[in-house]
Structure 1
Amino acid sequence: MATTAVTAALILVAGCGGNDKKSESGSENKGGESTTTSATPSAPTVPSFDPPKAFSVAAAYPVPDYEGREMYDDTKVGMVGQAALFVNYRGLTGHDIADPNKLWQIKSTEAETTTVSGVTDPMAVKVDGKDVAVVAYAQSDKGNGTQKSKDLVLVQWIDVASGQKLAEVSTPVVAAGGPSVLHISGAQYDPETGQVAIGVASSAKTSTVYADPQTKKGTELPDVLPGAVHNGVVAAAKAESKENADDAGAVLVDGASGKVTKQIPLKQGLLRPIGGGAKHAFFYGTVYPKGGDEEVASLYSVDLSTGAVVKSAPGLSARDSGGYQCIWDQATSIVCTKLQPTGPKEILGFDDSTGKKAWGFTSDSGQRIVPRVTAAFHGVVYVQTEKQPVLLDAKTGEDLPSSNPSPGETPSGSPTSGASPSDSESPSGGGSESPGTSAGGNDMSLYNGTQMSPDAVSPYGGVFGQLPKGSGYGSNDVQLVSIVMKPTA
């Protein structure tokens, strides 16, 4: 069963790039728009909770590895509306959690002369009232005919219900000294408008690409990296004018025109964007004080409307933290954790409406364990401790009650040892066909039985990535297993 599951999945996901073949049960992939298989006349309904606070494992999808995959091409998972997603350099794949037979795929490129060197996580936005996934790729076009080589940022907006592209914007990035390898250096999005600000970097420069699904246009904002985007305004970090100038600061930029509307001097030696919400962008800065020999670290929030600044002191030194990374709950809270995986740890919560620190603690505080933050959604922070998934209140940082399985308990919907999924769990519903051989590729035998904190959440469920298990699923076969969970509370 396991080998059959991988074979079926390899055939399906090969459509994300290379020489793809048309599935006998699916529709032809024309122009890279979408490939769907075994679509049903009407999608079943699934329970929804906003936000979900408990989950049950429902499906396991293998993500096939492929020959020639780049070292940094790690598959990222996402959750938008009723679709569980995974994306890599080849493209974006979506599984409808209400109908496991329904699968679609969008390629990252159709041109053989275009290579991909970076991709964002799937971002969840609304466009014309539809649940839409946004992905951005850093690309290099080697040229075609008389066209010169160029670097690009490609942004795609996909309706997750239909698997169709609603918009696509390809923006050239002008690199000093000519084209070079681009890497994604951050991505911010506006869930209300679908606008995105994608940070890219190369050996020659850094810049931000702003793109809008309504106008279908993109603008390069040179020499800055994005901290937040909302209603066409991008807040970004600008580096020092020269070494030891200590004049790194923030700017507000009109995304469509690229015009800087406000300069915000923060007088930092190094300034990094770490995340943003609808009202504030957040930055981490360090500077060596005159006559001092140790960096002083600060956290800043910048109001997207006025440029007003709020300064906070992190609980850890610059040496111990190495910076911070933040996640927005798409409501009112920003949650940040230290960047370095070793040494003391810290978690912080900010109020997006004021830009002020609301709560926080470090591993040196002695009272609580600093968990690993995996996702945040509408007031809930989803975290993982060494023993179990935990929920935190995004506004206060306090633990929330959860009815998720206790450690060692088999979650509802997961297979017991040696058991196969029931007929009702099979995508075909007939019971005579293994889920691994169905159009969707669901194979619950891939699930290792340990439910983890979700990497992405929507009202309709969550998803997390699991490393393959067993010798039958080595690095030559499966890169990752996408574990999909339905909400139960």
Structure 2
Amino acid sequence: MVTTTAVTAALILLAGCGGDDKKSDSGSENKGGETTTSATPSAPAVPSFDPPKAFAPAAAYPVMRDKEHQFSEEKSQSGIAGQVALIGRWTGLTGHDVADPNKTWTIKSAEAETTKVTDATKPVAVKVDGKDVALVAYTESDKGNGTQKPSGLVVVHWVDVMTGQKLAEVTAKVSTLQGTGDTAAGTPNVAAVAYDPETGQVAVGVSLMGSVSKYQTVYADPKTQKSTILPGMSPAAVHEGVVAGAPGPADPGGSAGTVVLADGASGKVTKQIPLKQASLKPLAAGAKHAYFYGDKDSAYDSGTKGQAIFVVDLSTGAVTQTEPAPPSDSNVQVECLADQATAVVCTTGTVQGSSLGIVGFDDATGKKAWGYTEDSGGRVVPRVTAAFHGVVYAQTEAQPVLLDAKTGQDLPSASSSSSPGSSETPSSGDTPSESDSPTGNESPGNGDLGLFNGKMASPAAVSAYGGVYGQSPSGDTGSVDLESVCIFLKPTA
């Protein structure tokens, strides 16, 4: 991982981007969405490292503003599954094959005109039958038809990223809407999500606007294509069919400080584990244990405050407790990421943005493996952006950095220049052809690396084939129609 300077050569590598992709006349339509293909030979395989430890910017995908939701809080979210960069919007999911510039697909979030999307999860990578699959879930409001009342839905898509075909889709009704409009009682929004990277099973927690029971969790399985609703729960983990969560604080009859374990397929509660906390926030969506941030207050501890991370074994219900940082008088935010292997890393900070500490867990045992705070001599608490197969990817004020997920030690990263060297200089075969150049019918920039602002950041998602992150448009590339730019980083070591 290195700090880069401005790019001196703009290579048009890939065409199309985001929810507003314009398809060429040669594109073909499939059941799951739209795909752009070409008769030209496939591009060479993209380099891969498991895990990557150095990157170089290789492509930039412009993300156009969604005019329908331009006044909402909706923003595009970047992900990567295998060798396909993902851009998630309320309007749908777009995939860009980073090895083949001719392979781009888009799958809409909803087809019916009577359905309106109200929220979406970040696209994440899972395996289904050994395939690289993108998992994304949407909350939707269905206006209803005939004698059916309007309802709130959770819709989950599993997409084979190499073909752009939907492998499975599950729809679950979580509420009946009372009234009309975006703020009708019962309108669902995403509250939390947990998933199993090895099976694609997912638990989507939603909050219901103005409803008596504020929280519902939908468990869905791509193999059975069935769903189960777990009422009054916000999910923290799902692994091998077991779902862990905690009741929402506004749900009647539920204790916010109690962890609940349930069988996902049947919805049957198997264990209830009281932790005597005022509230429990779910953490670490892709982990094998359930991770919660607990907050004490006067309800349990005579007016004192304290914070802790609780790790719950999904098989036995055993609990370990870790103090993530020295107590703080300010409201504390905790963020955790799983590396889809054996580690989970959590960072704590104040809502004002001050870093407090970082702690790593062995996800095989649920026990703390390492950690340090802002007061530790000689080390800075970084902002963690991603974790993958034993490596933590993070950002400091100075540059992107790498940490060993098992020990917390700094990892060296190979150096690389953002300017093309002798081996990277475009050959005659690399020079954009007439057919590669943007036309009036394509999105501005059209995959042009010239949209890259020259300041490489730590990736927001990583696979063996590289990393991605979102960049704000800047300088001469800024446009009122350009919401952001998705930067693809190819692995170099």
Provide the TM-score with structure 1 as the length reference.
0.88
Distance in 2, matches of 1:436 and 1:450, equals: 28
Who is 1:271 aligned against? 280
Bigger mean CA offset, 286-295 vs 350-359: 286-295
Who is 1:393 aligned against? 404
Q: CA separation of 1:293/1:72 partners in 2, compared to 1, >3 Å: closer, same or farther?
A: same
Q: Deviations over 1:327-384 (max 9, x none)?
A: 0000111011125352342211111111111111222334211111111000000001
Q: CA separation of 1:159/1:116 partners in 2, compared to 1, >3 Å: closer, same or farther?
A: same
Who is 2:366 aligned against? 355
Who is 1:430 aligned against? 433
Q: CA separation of 1:328/1:437 partners in 2, compared to 1, >3 Å: closer, same or farther?
A: farther
* SS, match of residue 38 in structure 2: coil
Contact 1:40 1:102 in 2 (8 A): no
Who is 1:126 aligned against? 127
In the alignment, which of 334, 345, 348 is matched to residue 344 of structure 2?
334
Distance in 2, matches of 1:341 and 1:252, equals: 34
In the alignment, which of 300, 308, 316 is matched to residue 298 of structure 1?
308
Distance in 1, matches of 2:318 and 2:104, equals: 46
Give the deviation of 1:68 after TM superposition: 2.4
Which stretches in structure 1 are left out of the alignment for 5+ residues?
Answer: 16-20
Who is 2:146 aligned against? 145
Identity level (%):
55
In the alignment, which of 250, 253, 260 is matched to residue 269 of structure 2?
260
Who is 1:18 aligned against? none
* SS, match of residue 458 in structure 2: coil
Provide the TM-score with structure 2 as the length reference.
0.87
Who is 2:457 aligned against? 452
Counterpart code for 2:167? L
Contact 2:232 2:254 in 1 (8 A): no
Q: CA separation of 1:213/1:143 partners in 2, compared to 1, >3 Å: closer, same or farther?
A: same
* SS, match of residue 401 in structure 1: coil
Contact 1:102 1:439 in 2 (8 A): no
- Is 1:487 equivalent to 2:491 in the alignment? yes
Q: Deviations over 1:183-202 (max 9, x none)?
A: 21121111111101111112
Give the deviation of 1:394 after TM superposition: 0.3
* SS, match of residue 68 in structure 1: helix
Give the deviation of 1:220 after TM superposition: 1.2
Q: CA separation of 1:432/1:235 partners in 2, compared to 1, >3 Å: closer, same or farther?
A: closer
* SS, match of residue 276 in structure 2: strand
Q: CA separation of 1:25/1:187 partners in 2, compared to 1, >3 Å: closer, same or farther?
A: same
Which stretches in structure 2 are left out of the alignment for 5+ residues?
Answer: 1-11, 180-184
Who is 1:462 aligned against? 467
Give the deviation of 1:473 after TM superposition: 2.4
* SS, match of residue 410 in structure 1: coil
Counterpart code for 2:199? T
- Is 1:187 equivalent to 2:193 in the alignment? yes
Distance in 1, matches of 2:144 and 2:274, equals: 40
Q: CA separation of 1:365/1:424 partners in 2, compared to 1, >3 Å: closer, same or farther?
A: farther
- Is 1:200 equivalent to 2:206 in the alignment? yes
Who is 2:52 aligned against? 52
Bigger mean CA offset, 116-125 vs 83-92: 116-125
- Is 1:14 equivalent to 2:20 in the alignment? yes
Q: Deviations over 1:463-483 (max 9, x none)?
A: 111111225522x21111011
Give the deviation of 1:72 after TM superposition: 1.4
Who is 1:233 aligned against? 242
Distance in 2, matches of 1:375 and 1:39, equals: 36
Counterpart code for 2:490? K
Who is 2:155 aligned against? 154
Q: Deviations over 1:393-438 (max 9, x none)?
A: 0011110000144xxx635489x9xxx9765555xx5377436779
- Is 1:410 equivalent to 2:418 in the alignment? yes
Contact 1:36 1:105 in 2 (8 A): no
Contact 2:142 2:152 in 1 (8 A): yes
Q: Deviations over 1:80-125 (max 9, x none)?
A: 0010111110110000010112100000011111111111111111
Counterpart code for 1:153? V
Who is 2:378 aligned against? 367
Who is 2:89 aligned against? 88
Give the deviation of 1:43 after TM superposition: 5.1
Distance in 2, matches of 1:479 and 1:226, equals: 31
Give the deviation of 1:318 after TM superposition: 5.3
- Is 1:323 equivalent to 2:333 in the alignment? yes
Contact 1:349 1:397 in 2 (8 A): yes
Q: CA separation of 1:402/1:288 partners in 2, compared to 1, >3 Å: closer, same or farther?
A: same
Distance in 1, matches of 2:112 and 2:315, equals: 41
Bigger mean CA offset, 144-153 vs 457-466: 144-153
* Aligned residues between the structures: 466
Counterpart code for 1:103? T
Contact 1:349 1:357 in 2 (8 A): yes
Bigger mean CA offset, 294-303 vs 317-326: 317-326
